[in-house]
């Protein structure tokens, strides 16, 4: 890989300021209600203070919901409730404001940004600002071939880092990270299974739309075969993304790492963003300190990944739709924590 050294991230990423977190905790002790009465909101406020570098928490107002889109050819095995090549319809619904995530983003005043990394359609079907970063049409069928070439993996990863820089330079307070994919949860399960050293059955979920038992068995077999191809490259995270991830997952991983470098907090959505987070953690162990887990999707692979990253989901409402929906549902809780920390008066 020319000029890309993942080891640099481990050096560049620092934890949110622990001294500021202690100052925020002391400040909260002087406010009412009593410390602990607000439950997890106090913990969130202290985390935000450390991430922002100030004991006086600023409002979380400039939020972007960033969604990486792509098709995965493993979907042709019937591992998903959606059809192979169906990501284009998901993207069109989001752009039209008709997806669950689009509705929530609109109601919250959040900018929704969809980035096509590997949607399997003619680029002319989508706006140029969506397709401009596309690496290929559909990532490879990971049970029998690599998802990407080495060059494609690097290009996708660099796209993610560039977008993280764009958001940081624009003054974004926080990013909600989601995905629009068909077959993406199979790739995510493979990455998590490989990194956690588990069997396929342990990390095979039923996807965002839910699949029947026969499809689950097909998905389990696909992850089993993909794991055989993933294990030899476990020591090289970019090679792992090329073998078993996809362009959308490689971009999301680069985005998460560079966001941590730029000190931009991120809320993860479902199993796909959790898988990318787990890969990123292998690159830089401090990176997860910059992320929140928005919700528990019920996917066993997501639960295993979050446990490895020591991230405790904010919500557990049985939401499985993906697309950033669960993370967007958690956003008001984060904003409430910031508002309470900023506006509650200190006792005399």
DSSP annotation string for 282-318? HH-TTGGGGEEE-B--S-HHHHHHHHHHT---SB-S-
Handedness of CA 93, 94, 97, 101 (dihedral sign): positive
The full DSSP string for 80-136 is SSSPTTTHHHHHHHHHTT-SHHHHHHHHHTPEEEEEEEE-SS-GGGS-HHHHTT---
Distance in angstroms between the alpha carbons of the first and the last residue of the chain = 59
pLDDT at residue 1, rounded to an integer: 42
Task: Output the tens digit of pLDDT for each of the chain's 348 residues.
Answer: 457 999 999 999 999 999 999 999 999 999 988 888 999 999 999 999 999 999 999 999 999 999 999 999 999 998 887 767 689 999 999 999 999 999 999 999 999 999 999 999 999 999 999 999 999 999 999 999 999 999 999 999 999 999 999 999 999 999 999 999 999 999 999 999 999 999 999 999 887 667 788 889 999 999 999 999 999 999 999 999 999 999 999 999 999 999 999 999 999 999 999 999 999 999 999 999 999 999 999 999 999 999 999 999 999 998 988 899 999 999 999 999 999 999 999 876
| Residue from 224, 212, 229, 274 nearest 80 by CA | 212
Give me the pLDDT at residue 212, please: 85
| Secondary structure element (H or E) that encloses residue 217, with its range | helix 213-230
DSSP 147: S
- Write the class of the CATH domain 63-332: alpha beta
pTM for the whole structure:
0.96
Distance, CA of 303 to CA of 298 (rounded, Å): 7
Residues 342, 49: Cα–Cα separation, whole Å: 10
Q: Is 323 a catalytic residue?
A: yes
The domain locations on the chain are: 7-58+338-343, 63-332
Which positions ≥6 away from 25 have C-beta within 8 Å? Answer: 35, 46
Is the Cβ–Cβ distance between 10 and 285 less than 8 Å? Answer: yes
Q: In angstroms, rounded to a whole number, what is the distance separating the alpha carbons of residues 272 and 269?
A: 8
25, 145, 323, 343: which one is catalytic?
A: 323
């Amino acid at each position: 890989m020319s000029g890309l050294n993942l080891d640099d991230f481990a050096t560049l990423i620092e934890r949110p300021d622990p001294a500021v977190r202690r100052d925020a905790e002391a400040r909260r002790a002087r406010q009412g209600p009593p410390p602990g009465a607000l439950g997890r909101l106090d913990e969130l406020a202290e985390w935000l203070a450390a991430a922002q570098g100030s004991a006086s928490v600023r409002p979380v107002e400039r939020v972007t919901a960033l969604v990486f889109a792509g098709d995965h050819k493993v979907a042709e095995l019937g591992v998903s409730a959606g059809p192979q090549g169906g990501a284009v319809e998901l993207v069109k619904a989001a752009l039209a404001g008709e997806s669950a995530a689009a509705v929530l983003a609109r109601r919250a005043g959040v900018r929704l940004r969809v980035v096509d990394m590997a949607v399997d359609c003619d680029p002319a079907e989508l706006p140029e600002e969506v397709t401009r970063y596309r690496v290929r049409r559909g990532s490879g069928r990971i049970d029998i071939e690599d998802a990407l070439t080495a060059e494609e993996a690097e290009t996708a990863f660099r796209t993610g880092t560039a977008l993280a820089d764009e958001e940081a330079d624009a003054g974004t307070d926080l990013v909600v990270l989601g995905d629009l994919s068909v077959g993406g949860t199979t790739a995510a399960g493979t990455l998590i299974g490989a990194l956690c050293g588990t069997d396929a059955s342990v990390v095979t979920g039923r996807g965002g739309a839910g699949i029947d038992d026969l499809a689950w068995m097909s998905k389990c077999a696909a992850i089993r075969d993909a794991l055989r191809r993933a294990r030899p490259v476990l020591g090289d995270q970019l090679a792992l993304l090329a073998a078993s991830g996809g362009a959308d997952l490689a971009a999301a991983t680069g985005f998460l790492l560079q966001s941590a470098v730029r000190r931009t907090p991120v809320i993860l959505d479902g199993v796909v963003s959790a898988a990318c987070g787990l890969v990123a953690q292998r690159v830089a162990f401090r990176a997860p300190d910059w992320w929140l887990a928005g919700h528990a999707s019920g996917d066993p692979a997501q639960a295993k990944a979050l446990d490895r990253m020591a991230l405790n989901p904010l919500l557990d409402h049985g939401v499985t739709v993906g697309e950033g929906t669960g993370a967007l549902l958690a956003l008001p809780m984060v904003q409430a924590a910031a508002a309470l920390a900023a506006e509650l008066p200190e006792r005399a």
